[in-house]
Each structure stands twice: as C-alpha cells, then as structure tokens.
C-alpha cells in the first residue's frame, strides 16, 4: 500500500493503528491476535492490560502474553493472565 494513502487514513493513535491491522486481516474476517512484546519486568502488568484494552477496542481478538506471563513467578504470571482474560470478558470495554 502506498505510504501516503496509509498515512492519510490512519491517525497516530494506538487504537487507529490497531484498527488498520484488523482491516488488513481480510477486513476483519481473520481475527487479529496481537503480541505483547518483550518482558520489561516492572510495569508489565499495566502495559499488558493497556495493550489488551487497545486491541479489544480496535476489534482485535486476543493477545499473546508469552514471556511476560511465563518468565516470572507463577503467582505473578497467573495474575497477568487473569488480568488479560478480564479485559476480554468485560462487556463494558467495547469497540471504540
């Protein structure tokens, strides 16, 4: 896609950028599952929940947590996974 068209159609906001990803997945017919990125230690829970909310509000269907959940003590990993589940199960978080 031409960069000028892409830049004109997408605002520089995380939800808009993720919406564009959803649109390129066969106009939403293929679910978008975003990756959560590398583990940074402190702040992973907040950053992961933020990413999940952005993904859900943009029309995405899930979040890959990987290292953020599995390379930490079990209790912390479970807390992170439950927080992500809570985002996708919360009916008050809707498409923006």
Q: Is the pLDDT of residue 15 over 90?
A: no
The model's pLDDT over 25-62, given as tens digits with 9 standing for 90+, comes to 877 678 888 886 777 778 889 999 999 999 999 999 89
Write the CB contacts of 79 (distance below 8 Å, at least 6 apart in sequence). Answer: 45
18, 32 contact by CB (below 8 A): yes
Predicted TM-score (pTM) of the model is 0.79
């Amino acid at each position: 896609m031409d960069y000028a068209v892409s830049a004109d159609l997408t605002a520089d906001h995380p939800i808009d950028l993720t919406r564009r990803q959803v649109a390129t997945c066969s106009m939403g017919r293929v679910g978008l599952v975003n990756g959560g990125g590398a583990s940074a230690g402190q702040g992973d829970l907040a950053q992961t929940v933020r990413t999940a909310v952005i993904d859900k509000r943009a029309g995405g269907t899930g979040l890959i947590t990987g290292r953020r959940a599995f390379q930490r003590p079990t209790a912390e990993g479970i807390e992170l996974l439950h927080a992500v589940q809570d985002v996708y199960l919360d009916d008050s978080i809707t498409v923006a």
